[in-house]
Amino acid sequence: MTAVDPNSPAGPTFWAVASDVAEPLGRWLTMLASERRYSEKTVEAYARDARFFLEAMTRRFRHPVTTSDLNALRPADIRSFLAERREAEVSSRSLARAMSAIRSAIGFLEREGLATLAPFAAMKSPRVKESLPRPLAETDARRIATGDIAKDTQAPWLKARDIAVFSLLYGCGLRISEALALTAADFDMSRSSSAIRVVGKGGKERIVPLLPAIRDAITDYRRLCPYQPPRHEPIFRGERGGPLNPRIVQRRMAEMRGALGLPASATPHALRHSFATHLLAAGGDLRAIQDLLGHASLSSTQIYTKVEPARLLDAYRDAHPRA
């Protein structure tokens, strides 16, 4: 496979890094994209975090970082980098992600005999405060997904489009990127169709059940839509016929959030959280919900088990006279 050139104008730049580090780092980025199948944005984030670290080490060593420098790293060097990022007011969550990226890069170099992960073994990633998903109430999620508060001034096909998109987010638990990437080829719009093919993170495919009401919403939108894109292009279109921009969906959600008096946490992604939380509250199997959401790890899905108890505790604290 052809390696990404991290110092090329088209790729992420590792500032003042020696050539014996730049070339294998290019192969690391290529591995993330091709073998690990990380998204483009994830690869960019990993490259950016590695660049920040190498910039810090270049300042610390006062010369472009070499493989010899990476083999001579000490825990004090890493602590110095973390302290520098703290001074730049980088959050614990971002620092934890940065450490994950740096460990990935150094681990790749270690497997090639060019660096060592030993100093990282003594380092703990910054502790990240767990934040629970904030789902919508069932009545609010239903009103948004069914277009109950859609604008009367909208063209009928735009109103139908919004209903179809929000129905997929709440009724199928899709990410907004997954919903907007759906093509006609992903649907079998016959009356007997009961599932859709979804391509999630890392290009992983999953089959998601399609409820009749959601299927009907998509059918209505496609019937009214003045644009008929090719079979393998996204079906959801903007007013001028191009692929629907996620910002349009976010803007529509903000309008409905205001109409319902919902907090800023009521985003399109909150509909996905609502899908998982409401299924679990109704007795849904955790493993099945994991498959429906496309989570690689069950631990990502288990966080929803904490949502309902947390909401009950909030209600207790708000209502009980001795809370």
The pLDDT of residue 9 is: 39
316 included as an active-site residue: no
Return the CATH number at 108.
Answer: 1.10.150.130
272 is catalytic: yes
Select which of 175, 215, 222, 278 is catalytic. 175
Is there a catalytic annotation at residue 269? yes
Q: What is the pLDDT of residue 313?
A: 58
- The reply to whether 311 and 163 lie within a common domain is yes
Q: Which of 63, 86, 121 is the last residue of a domain?
A: 121
Task: Please tell me which residue in 51, 237, 272, 273 is annotated as part of the active site.
Answer: 272
**From the candidates 38, 46, 170, 304, which is the catalytic residue?**
304
Q: Which residues contact 164 (CB under 8 A, 6 or more apart)?
A: 214, 217, 218, 220, 221, 236
Q: Which one from 103, 142, 197, 269 is the annotated catalytic residue?
A: 269
CA distances to 144, 185, 217, 223, 226 from 157, in Å: 17, 21, 11, 8, 8
What pLDDT shows up at residue 300? 79
Q: What is the pLDDT of residue 196?
A: 86
304 annotated active-site: yes
Domain boundary among 62, 92, 121: 121
If asked whether residues 305 and 193 sit together in one domain, one would say yes
Considering the candidates 27, 48, 103, 201, report the single residue annotated as catalytic: 201
Please indicate, yes or no, whether residues 37 and 102 belong to a single structural domain of this protein.
yes
CATH number for the domain harbouring residue 238: 1.10.443.10
Q: Where in the sequence is the domain holding 45, given as residue range(s)?
A: 19-121
Output the pLDDT for position 14: 56
Number of domains into which the chain is organized: 2
Q: What is the pLDDT along the chain (323 residues), one digit of tens a residue?
A: 445 554 443 345 555 677 788 889 999 999 998 888 888 888 899 999 999 999 999 889 888 888 898 888 899 999 999 898 888 888 888 888 889 999 999 999 999 988 889 988 877 777 766 677 788 888 999 999 888 776 667 899 999 999 999 999 999 999 999 999 999 888 764 445 688 888 888 778 888 888 889 999 999 999 999 999 998 999 999 999 999 999 999 999 999 888 888 888 899 999 999 998 888 888 888 888 888 888 888 877 878 777 766 555 565 566 656 65
